Amino acid sequence: MANQTDLLDAVRAALSNADADKLLPLCRKLESNVVIIINGHEQSVAHHVAALLNGIRCVEALIKKLGPGCLTCINKSYNTHVHLAALYQEQDWMKVIHRALGSDCFHQPGQFQRTAIHWAAENKLSNSSLKWLVKKLGTACLSVRDEHGNTPVHLAALCQGEDSMQFFKSVLGSDCFHQPGQFQRTAIHWAATNGVNNATWKWLVSDCGSDCLTVKDEHENTPIHLAAWRQGEESIKICASQLGFECFHQEGQHGRTAVHFAAMNELYNSSLEVLISICGPKCLSVKDSYGTTPAHLAAQYKDLDSLRLVVKSLGDSVFELVDNEGKTVADYAENNAEHRHRMLQWIQEYRRQQQSLPEKMDDLQLQKQQQESPNKDGQGPAKKLKIDPNFTKWDFLLDGQGKKQKIGEGAFGKVYKALTDKHQTVAVKIVYLQANGGTESVNAAIERELFEVSILRGMQHHNILKFIKAERYKKHMLSIFTELIAGQSLYDLMQKQQKPFDESAVKDFSRQICTALNYLHNRDPATLHRDIKCSNIMLNHKGVIKLIDFGLAKEILTSIVGSYTFCGTVCFMAPSCSATRPQSCTRPRVTCGRLAAPFSKC
């Protein structure tokens, strides 16, 4: 008993180490085809030997010691030694089995109702066993289907090289490549999913012609979709040369294009990269029937380099993409089994940097403005900041939770951070309008304010907010774009300090405010601010005061609801505004007012 136990331990060790030389003498001592567990696989010694490189002498020893019957017992997957040897070994092994059992053993079905010929077609080491079996058994064995409907031709297209395809053509003709198998896929479909190399697929496309690329399986997928999913850049370029770029926009399963499938390609990044260059970045935002974009799928299936490419291609808007369930790209990254942690850390850091970008850009703009200012004391008008107003698209900047970055909020609207297609960060105030006075009143008021903003754009002073432009936003909204200021209002600063500013600060702020007002009132025609208060006075990181919010939203509402409606902040309004009389802009009416009180009690 002790000797038998020691023998089995030695057999296990030799099989675990794939040591055929040590196993050979042990096989000659075995009394039975004992079942043992190696690397989690529980099966007989003969089954284990079938996968052993250079183990042909071991199987001969087993046949001699235990008889040919050791080759016919089945494992838990219903496979015999014959099936496994066809999968892992070359033709010499088939000859040994044939001498021991004859030809019938090669026709016996195993797992998935596959014969030895099916398993030989999946042999990735060599196709010599497949060729030998076909020559020995006849070409009819290549037409036998497994329980999924696949023939050895389909399986070889998935697992083997072009030499096997040439062999099939020589014995069956090219028609065998067009026969449908599982999922109604032809050999061309299966070759497109061969992730090891694309030589088989290239050969089939060349032999069968470009029309084979347009055949759809039962899921509506063509070989183009499958090649994008499992192969690299070269296969994509072959498709383009055969059918043109339009083929990449054709919808397959779930309404997905080749770009969607490339975004799920976990083997190659190059397929997605070349498709972006061919189809343009917009292809990453195309939605399938679930509302899922290639950007979502790349976050779930690919690595961090691919996510960086997607973000570089689409910009910050990529994080605003949501599927039909409201899930974002970051949500899909949560499901990335291999790269989840790195992706989420990168997304968080990227958003943090984007949040700090406006402040950095504002500081750079201020430095440049101060360098270009003609007056050393900073009281004169500065040269125009180079903020490009000719942008046509813009997107809200998002915070770490994927929400719009809100700067402020008032009775008439909300202010957010935004990024334009000129790659500049700006502030955008969204004014929400209620059409109480009718659509015509809303339209007239908006047109009037658009004209006023066009005038305000001409203001160039380092203590005054730079207006960029205004435009309609949706049906009853107006968006007003201004420079983005890095800083806080005097009101917010006092709230955080929980005390008023000291006298020197009040004097400095008052001087800057009066300088700005003097500039406004001496324009031709004069410009009135109408709402000077601490919440409308910003202090940036350089200690420079900025007047913001010229009461445009109030003017719009006043125009809509009636000329005599009272709108404004009572304690800080110009006297003419609080008189509830129609306004006139024929002369300046804004007064500096209660400077000491606002700075101490706001």
Nearest to 251 by CA among 241, 266, 261: 261
User: Phi, psi (5° rounding) for residue 468?
Assistant: -100, -55
Q: pLDDT for 11-41, tens place per residue?
A: 999 999 999 999 999 999 999 999 999 999 9
524 shares a domain with 478: no
Quick check: is 295 in a domain? no
439 shares a domain with 455: yes
Burial 340-369 (b: 16+ CB within 10 A, else e): eeebeebbeebbeebeebbbebbeebbeeb
Lowest pLDDT segment from 412-416, 562-566, 577-581: 562-566
d(CA 94, CA 103): 10
In total, the chain counts a number of residues equal to 602
User: Phi, psi (5° rounding) for residue 392?
Assistant: -110, -20
517 shares a domain with 479: no
Region of 456 (left: φ > 0; alpha: ψ -120 to 50; beta: rest) is alpha
Q: pLDDT for 390-413, tens place per residue?
A: 888 999 998 877 888 988 887 668
477 shares a domain with 539: no
132 shares a domain with 12: yes
Quick check: is 155 in a domain? no
pLDDT confidence of residue 299: 98
**Maximum mean pLDDT: which of 91-95, 368-372, 579-583:** 91-95
31 shares a domain with 45: yes
Amino acid at 177: F
Pairing of strands 545-547, 406-410: unpaired
d(CA 119, CA 111): 10
3 shares a domain with 137: yes
**Maximum mean pLDDT: which of 253-262, 409-418, 500-509:** 253-262
Q: Is 375 exposed, middle or buried (0-12, 13-18, 19+ CB in 10 A)?
A: exposed
Q: Provide the greatest CA pair distance for the chain.
A: 116
Share of the chain above pLDDT 90, in %: 59
pTM, to two decimals: 0.63
Quick check: is 356 in a domain? no
Nearest to 475 by CA among 427, 429, 420, 432: 432
Quick check: is 126 in a domain? yes
Q: 455, 483, 511: which is the final residue of a domain?
A: 483
Query: Which CATH number belongs to the domain containing residue 512 in this structure?
Result: 1.10.510.10
206 has pLDDT over 70: yes
CB contact at 8 A, 394 and 484: no
Strand partners, 594: none
User: Phi, psi (5° rounding) for residue 43?
Assistant: -165, 175
d(CA 116, CA 163): 19
CB contact at 8 A, 52 and 58: yes
- Spatial CB neighbours of 376, under 8 Å, sequence gap ≥ 6: none
Query: Which CATH number belongs to the domain containing residue 130 in this structure?
Result: 1.25.40.20
128 shares a domain with 51: yes
d(CA 424, CA 483): 9
User: Phi, psi (5° rounding) for residue 39?
Assistant: 55, 40
pLDDT confidence of residue 562: 44
Q: What is the CA radius of gyration of the chain?
A: 38
Nearest to 105 by CA among 114, 116, 95, 113: 116
584 has pLDDT over 50: no
Q: 101, 132, 147: which is the final residue of a domain?
A: 147
In the annotated binding site for ATP, the residues are: 429
* Cα-based torsion angle of the residue sequence 551, 557, 562, 565 in order, rounded to the nearest 10 degrees: -60
Nearest to 452 by CA among 516, 529, 561, 349: 529
Element (H, E) at 508: helix 503-521
Q: 112, 130, 147: which is the final residue of a domain?
A: 147
pLDDT band at 471 (very low <50, low <70, confident <90, very high): confident
Q: SS3 for 590?
A: coil
In the annotated binding site, the residues are: 429
491 shares a domain with 407: no
d(CA 570, CA 366): 33
What does 228-279 look like in DSSP terms, one character per residue? HHH--HHHHHHHHHHH-GGGGG---GGG--HHHHHHT-SS-SHHHHHHHHHH
d(CA 569, CA 556): 15
**Residue 440 belongs to domain spanning:** 394-483
Strand partners, 464: 547
Q: SS3 for 595?
A: coil
524 has pLDDT over 80: no
- Spatial CB neighbours of 225, under 8 Å, sequence gap ≥ 6: 252, 253, 256, 257, 258, 261
429 shares a domain with 449: yes
Count up the domains in the chain and report the number. Answer: 3
pLDDT confidence of residue 458: 78
Token readout for 287 is 């939605």
Check residue 540 and report its DSSP letter: E
CB contact at 8 A, 537 and 569: no
CB contact at 8 A, 466 and 387: yes
574 has pLDDT over 70: no
d(CA 364, CA 372): 12
pLDDT band at 596 (very low <50, low <70, confident <90, very high): very low
* Mean pLDDT over the full length of the chain: 86
- Select the more confidently predicted residue: 60 or 379: 60
539 shares a domain with 506: yes
140 shares a domain with 56: yes
Token readout for 399 is 């915070």
Quick check: is 57 in a domain? yes
* H runs (alpha helix) in 292-431: 294-301, 304-314, 329-333, 340-372
pLDDT confidence of residue 591: 38
102 has pLDDT over 50: yes
Distance of alpha carbon 505 from its chain centroid, rounded? 49
Nearest to 13 by CA among 43, 45, 54: 45
Quick check: is 312 in a domain? no
CB contact at 8 A, 416 and 427: yes
1 has pLDDT over 70: no
d(CA 403, CA 413): 17
pLDDT confidence of residue 571: 52
Quick check: is 531 in a domain? yes
Q: pLDDT for 104-123, tens place per residue?
A: 999 999 999 999 999 999 99
Query: Which CATH number belongs to the domain containing residue 401 in this structure?
Result: 3.30.200.20
What does 63-83 look like in DSSP terms, one character per residue? HHHH-GGGGT---TTS--HHH
Q: pLDDT for 531-553, tens place per residue?
A: 788 888 999 878 899 998 765 54
pLDDT confidence of residue 590: 37
Quick check: is 12 in a domain? yes
